[in-house]
Amino acid sequence: MPISKEIMEQWGGETLITHLDKETQSIVLIGIHSSQIGPAAGGLRMKKYKNLEDAVTDVLNLSQAMTSKFAMANMKWGGGKTVVYLTRDLDTTEREQFFMRFGEILQSLQGRYYVGPDVGTSSEDMDIIYKTGKPFVFSRTVKAGGAGSSSVPTAYGVYAGIKTTCKFLFGTERLEGRTIFIQGLGNVGQILLKILLKENARVIFTDTNPELVDRMLKEEPTVQFLPPDKSYDVACDIFAPCAHGAILNATTINQLKCKGIVGAANNQLSEPEDAERLKIRGILYAPDYMVNLGGAMGITAIEAEGVPEEESIENVQKTISETLAEIYINAKSADTTTVEAAMKITQKRLEKYLPNKIGI
């Protein structure tokens, strides 16, 4: 896809690095949205896309969202992201060799960008990248000296967001008896489900993996499964998208039977106008980059700043609860969308360090 001047200006970032990995014919895209406050950081997403245009769109949007996440967390890091556009499946050896080569690319950036795991990659993969890309790697396995998966702090951040949303909607953050629908039981979704059950919430879930569904129903007989095609017809208090992005659009929003949306998935809105559509429907939307910042905030605090894991998770929940409450209050007061309210807070926090230099 031609990357036009207009696309880059709309993105507002610093650098988009493109690299063809000749051995696998995979295309590596590294988006550095901001490295002015501090080094850019963001996960490595590795998957088969329908086309290169979708991969480019993903890396631009996700890197921009990372800038917003760190601003919301009041951390001196900038936003970045890696997207690997796979043209075919890689075997174990090819995958390991690819990550070694990626580490060399990372090393060449000389600390301008730090990477961690994301969709399609793991802490074990970060261990491999570290061999050639050290020290610019987050979330290695505990055995290798890292903090492990970012799924735990991410899930606890979503949990904090759900409680804050319920308090705003119902006057109490207690989840006992509340119906929460989780779309997607990946690493974050599974942890979130367990947390919610401890709070005696009524949990409904969906996932496309039959084996995972069967296992979860055996492990947690009180939960209810619904087929994926019923995702937008579920009557619930909170809808928690924890799988793919761009799932909220003019069609699905019209189908929703929830009172609030709080989930871990990135870029949940298909287009900016969807925020207004949710507002018109009276559905309280927790901006995704606010709710799912727990992984980025938690892991960087543990590994870069030496914060103990338990304290880090507590800080994640406190930050998300307080900032999300501020977003809701400001949106209601100004009669605007929660996305607009969040953007104003983000810009204000960024300007604290670099007035008028970073666009969101």
Q: In this structure, what DSSP letter does residue 233 have?
A: G
CATH number at residue 32: 3.40.50.10860
pLDDT at position 353 is 65
**Same domain membership, residue 168 and residue 104:** no
Q: 81, 163, 259, 279: which is the annotated catalytic residue?
A: 81
**Same domain membership, residue 108 and residue 210:** no
Cα dihedral 31, 250, 247, 325, rounded to 10, equals 80
Q: What kind and span of H or E run contains 147?
A: none
Within 13 A of 224's CA, how many CA atoms are on the CB side? 13
Please identify which residue in the block is written with the tokens 């690095």: 17
Per residue, the 3-state secondary structure of 144-165, as one string, reads CCCCCCCHHHHHHHHHHHHHHH
pLDDT digits (tens, 9 = 90+) for 280-314: 999 999 999 999 999 999 999 999 889 999 999 99
Mean pLDDT confidence for 135-156? 94
Mean pLDDT confidence for 29-38? 92
Residue 99 lies in a domain: yes
**Same domain membership, residue 331 and residue 226:** yes
**Same domain membership, residue 163 and residue 114:** no
CA 150 to chain centre: 10
Query: Could you give the CA distance from residue 38 to residue 327 in angstroms, rounded to a whole number?
Result: 25
Query: Could you give the CA distance from residue 290 to residue 65 in angstroms, rounded to a whole number?
Result: 9
Does residue 279 have an active-site annotation?
A: no
**Same domain membership, residue 338 and residue 197:** yes
Of residues 103, 97, 33, the one with CA closest to residue 69: 33
Residue 156 lies in a domain: yes
Above 50 in pLDDT, residue 1? no
CA 10 to chain centre: 21
Residue 114 lies in a domain: yes
- When divided into structural domains, the chain yields a total of 2
pLDDT digits (tens, 9 = 90+) for 154-202: 999 999 999 999 999 999 999 999 999 999 999 999 999 999 999 999 9
pLDDT at position 349 is 82
In the chain, how long is the greatest CA-to-CA distance? 57
pLDDT digits (tens, 9 = 90+) for 324-357: 999 999 999 999 999 999 999 988 888 776 654 5
**Same domain membership, residue 250 and residue 107:** no
| Mean pLDDT taken over the chain | 93
Residue that finishes a domain, picked among 133, 161, 177? 133
Of residues 241, 238, 243, the one with CA closest to residue 260: 238
Contact 278, 248 (CB under 8 A): yes
**Same domain membership, residue 157 and residue 121:** no
Contact 157, 317 (CB under 8 A): yes
**pTM score, whole prediction:** 0.88
pLDDT at position 358 is 47
**Same domain membership, residue 161 and residue 127:** no
Query: Could you give the CA distance from residue 316 to residue 301 in angstroms, rounded to a whole number?
Result: 10
Residue 303 lies in a domain: no
Q: In this structure, what DSSP letter does residue 57 have?
A: H
CATH number at residue 201: 3.40.50.720
Contact 145, 73 (CB under 8 A): no
**Domain ranges, residue 82:** 15-63+77-133
Within 13 A of 265's CA, how many CA atoms are on the CB side? 22
Residue that finishes a domain, picked among 105, 133, 161? 133
Kindly list the strands in the beta sheet with 179-183, ordered across the sheet, starting from the edge strand earlier in the chain. 224-225, 202-206, 179-183, 238-241, 260-261, 284-285
**Same domain membership, residue 194 and residue 114:** no
Residue 43 lies in a domain: yes
Mean pLDDT confidence for 69-84? 92
Mean pLDDT confidence for 97-103? 98
Mean pLDDT confidence for 34-48? 93
**Same domain membership, residue 179 and residue 128:** no
Residue 357 lies in a domain: no
Cα dihedral 189, 330, 275, 60, rounded to 10, equals -70
Contact 84, 46 (CB under 8 A): yes
Residue 116 lies in a domain: yes
**Same domain membership, residue 196 and residue 104:** no
**Same domain membership, residue 167 and residue 286:** yes
Residue 117 lies in a domain: yes
Contact 254, 114 (CB under 8 A): no
Query: Could you give the CA distance from residue 252 to residue 222 in angstroms, rounded to a whole number?
Result: 27
Query: Could you give the CA distance from residue 122 to residue 53 in angstroms, rounded to a whole number?
Result: 25
